Amino acid sequence: MRLNNLKPNPGAKHRRKRLGSGESSGLGKTCGRGHKGQRSRSGGSIRPGFEGGQMPLARRLPKKGFSNVAFAKKGAVVNVADLEARFEAGQVVNEAALRESGLLKGSCDYVKLLGNGDVTKAFTIEGLRVSGSAREKIEKAGGSVAESEPDS
């Protein structure tokens, strides 16, 4: 077997449909778009959900319920393993310190410290929400937690 003998499997290759290349090609003249009408024109397409001027289904159905998406509090999560990697022992950890270290980006309503990972350094945590396991690990390592009050 040589490179010049290689062939694709039978049926694996299809010829590309060449629109407008004569009537015998099967896609000449109107190129498969039919005669006249909106979809035969260039740029002639309708947006999804358009029902030809009839009142669309999404507007016909009654609106019901409430979504809290616009009012939901957006929180950021940081693990104790991240603190171990980025901060020195005895350092105060708050939202400003987390942003400075690069652990926190963008806007958020609160920051929660979770207990994923191990802690050997003593940190002072201020103004963050802290999970039970994170609080336990920080206090076991000799640190302290001054937790912020959760917003209601």
Domains of the chain: 18-47 (no CATH), 75-146 (3.100.10.10)
Do 83 and 104 touch, CB atoms closer than 8 A?
Answer: no
Question: How does pLDDT run across 91-143, given as a tens digit for each residue?
Answer: 999 999 999 999 999 999 999 999 999 999 999 999 999 999 999 999 999 99
pLDDT at 150 (0 to 100): 62
pTM exceeding 0.75: no
pLDDT in tens, 2-43: 999 999 999 999 888 888 888 888 888 888 899 998 889 988
CA distance 43 to 40: 9
